[in-house]
Chains A and B, each alone.
Chain A
Amino acid sequence: MSAVSSFLRLLASEVRLIAGRRRNQAGVAVLALVPIVMAVAIRASTAPRPGRGPDFFSSIAGNGFFVALAALAAEITLFLPLAVATLSGDAIAGEAHGGTLRYLLTVPVRRTRLLAVKYLSLVVGAAIGVAVVVLAALAAGGLLFGLGPVTLLSGTQVGLGDALGRLAVACAYLTLQLAALAAIGLFVSTLTEQPIGATITVTLLVMTMWILDGIPQLDGLHPWLLVDRWSAFGDVMRDPIFWDTMATGSLVALAYTAVFLSAAWARFAGKDITS
């Protein structure tokens, strides 16, 4: 029991550390700004966009709810991964760079415990990032377009409560995907003492996966890329919810998480801390 409470105490301290940092607060503001800008831009432009199939943009004018889905679709490509990359750069590399890592370890904090806390704080950070996007989007969309019963992609209409439940599933799915990215980030963070270097590396990895995912000739590789099924969160808007892609995507995410958390542990557990 006391082991659990002391673990939670350190986790709380870690989350406070992340939340208290100006740079991160600015990042949250940027995440929130994107859906607001989107909603305002669509409200200001009167001309309807030519239809290109079911992208969420075209539905926004009818219901502010769709700002949330459109914002998630826009931010999951770069802004949300960048946020996770930034936090994971701070996690180990940042502490090593500042020298605070040696003081944490001599407190003492066991290395496995420190890694666990750092990883969970990254997952909390990712969840907060996704939540901020969705809440800002619902606020801006509700204000400018109103919220009401939602027409699903299949044409059926569901109540707002049902739709918000589906949105929560999408958020959970994306948080799981970002948690897999955080595992990669944590591993990269144990490799270096330069937080910026770790952040850039993780961001480049995501960009590279997007590029590879866009090359049709490499379709044999696509199922193995972490980002390949990120856009499947939109399947929550089908009736009934189409689970197959998200289920496979979740398995891929869990596999990435397991592999990279193990690598991070293997690297960090026996590492000489000379910073």
Chain B
Amino acid sequence: MSAALAVRTSSLAKTFGAQRAVDGIDLRVPAGGVYGFLGPNGSGKTTTIRMLLGLVRPSAGEIEVLGAGTPGAIVDVLHRVGALVEGPAFHPYLSGRANLRRLDAADARADPRTSRTRIDAAIERVGLTPAADKRFRAYSLGMKQRLAIAAALLAPRDLLVLDEPTNGLDPQGTREVRALIGALAREGTTVLVSSHLLSEIEQVCTHLGVMHAGRLVAQGSVAEVLGGADAVTRVDTPDFVPARDVLVRLGARDVRDLRDAAPGVEALETVVAGVPPERVVAELVAAGVRVRGFAVTAPGLEERFIALTGEGFDVSG
């Protein structure tokens, strides 16, 4: 059972002083998948990632990374794990290439004879070749982020842990990182990617885990996590009252009049569970409702995310 999991934790918890940063989570990252690790700032994602990488010692619970279960064994499998933790960090007065050379020199298993080729390939892969010999301090945030991803790709990896990899990237760069994640996943690398920005993650993930206030509030395949929410039906029509009657007869809940929401809009929105959309349209038309537009929207990750973690910009403390 655990053979198919790249990362598994049981009741994993971390307490800093009086604060429970991570409060008993059971993470299941399937091997070969792209696991989107979501949650607002301060929800415990980074602390969890630090525990997976052996930087922070758990207060309670167990961790298994690539089959290794004890802290000592986890350090031994870390060479198969590429990591980007809480933003890029390098020596500012060294060039990007020199920084990678330093990390490669630190890797006891890296072959110094292939160092140059591997470093060049990693730089190439993140599109940093033109800036490779500039000092790190002169890099833009996007270039720094790319260098950190290059560092994670210095050796062949079975698992990539990317904490907010698109932070500071422009939309173009974000798309490139997404494409890179997709390509790595196709090569068989398991990817655990965290983000507080949903749109960045939604398109590449096969699985999702949602953190909120130190707890894992939802986890599973994308369909499983999103399945908890119903599709929304929108009808554009000037005939509000008959339309509502038809919808209610079909078992609609929460019929909302969108005329209140925006000027110039004549529509209503509702959730009609268990009735096929084509039948809804047929019933509306049969009742003489002038249907000018009709849409059924599957719930986005955004709606689901907000439903799980609450709305607003509050940092969960």
**A residues with CB within 8 A of B:** 3, 6-7, 9-10, 12-13, 17, 20-22, 98-100, 102-110, 113, 270, 272-274
Contact = CB atoms under 8 A, between A and B. Distances in A.
19 contacts: A6-B107, A7-B108, A9-B112, A10-B106, A10-B108, A20-B94, A22-B93, A98-B89, A99-B86, A99-B87, A103-B85, A103-B90, A104-B103, A107-B79, A108-B75, A113-B108, A272-B50, A272-B56, A273-B55
A171 to B, nearest CB: 29
Nearest to A111: B75
A66 B86 CA distance: 55
Contacts of A107: 78-79, 103, 106-107
Interface of B: 50, 53-57, 75, 78-79, 81, 83, 85-87, 89-94, 101-103, 105-109, 112, 148, 151
B55 A105 contact: yes
Contact of B108 (A100, A105, A109): A109
Contacts of A17: 91, 94, 102
Given A99-B87, A103-B85, A274-B50, A21 B106 contact: no
B76 to A, nearest CB: 8
Given A98-B91, A102-B85, A109 B106 contact: yes
A104 B53 CA distance: 11
Nearest to A117: B106
Listed residue (A17, A106, A113, A274) with the most chain B CB atoms within 10 angstroms of its CB: A106
Contacts of A113: 108
Given A9-B112, A102-B89, A272 B106 contact: no
B41 to A, nearest CB: 16
Contacts of A102: 50, 53, 55, 85-86, 89
Q: What are the 6 tightest A-B residue pairs by CB atom distance, in nearest-first order?
A: A99-B89, A13-B105, A108-B78, A273-B55, A6-B108, A272-B56
A104 B151 CA distance: 11
A109 B101 CA distance: 15
Listed residue (A99, A100, A108) with the most chain B CB atoms within 10 angstroms of its CB: A108
B120 to A, nearest CB: 18
Given A98-B91, A98-B92, A100-B89, A105 B54 contact: yes
Nearest to B87: A99
B103 to A, nearest CB: 6
B108 A3 contact: yes
A7 B107 CA distance: 9
A229 to B, nearest CB: 37
Given A13-B102, A13-B105, A273-B50, A106 B55 contact: yes
Contacts of B53: 102, 105-106
B93 A106 contact: no
A104 B90 CA distance: 10
A43 B137 CA distance: 45
Given A10-B105, A12-B105, A17-B102, A108 B93 contact: no
A3 to B, nearest CB: 7
A98 B87 CA distance: 11
Contacts of A9: 105, 112
Given A13-B101, A109-B106, A103 B94 contact: no
A190 to B, nearest CB: 15
Contacts of B105: 9-10, 12-13
Contact of A273 (B56, B94, B108, B112): B56
B180 to A, nearest CB: 19
Contacts of B109: 6
Contacts of A6: 107-109
Given A109-B106, A109-B108, A272 B55 contact: yes
A107 B87 CA distance: 16
Listed residue (B87, B94, B102, B112) with the most chain A CB atoms within 10 angstroms of its CB: B102
B310 to A, nearest CB: 26
Contacts of B107: 6, 107-109
B314 to A, nearest CB: 22
B112 A274 contact: no
A272 B89 contact: no
A269 to B, nearest CB: 10
Contacts of B78: 106-108
Contacts of A272: 50, 55-57
A103 B57 contact: no
B50 A13 contact: no
A272 B56 CA distance: 4
Listed residue (B50, B78, B106) with the most chain A CB atoms within 10 angstroms of its CB: B106
Nearest to A271: B57
A9 B93 CA distance: 21
A103 B107 CA distance: 11
A108 B57 CA distance: 16
A104 B79 CA distance: 11
Nearest to A105: B55
B151 A108 contact: no
Given A102-B85, A107-B103, A109-B106, A21 B92 contact: no
A266 to B, nearest CB: 14
A272 B46 CA distance: 13
A114 to B, nearest CB: 8
Contacts of A99: 86-87, 89
A117 to B, nearest CB: 9
A102 B152 CA distance: 13
Listed residue (A3, A10, A12) with the most chain B CB atoms within 10 angstroms of its CB: A10
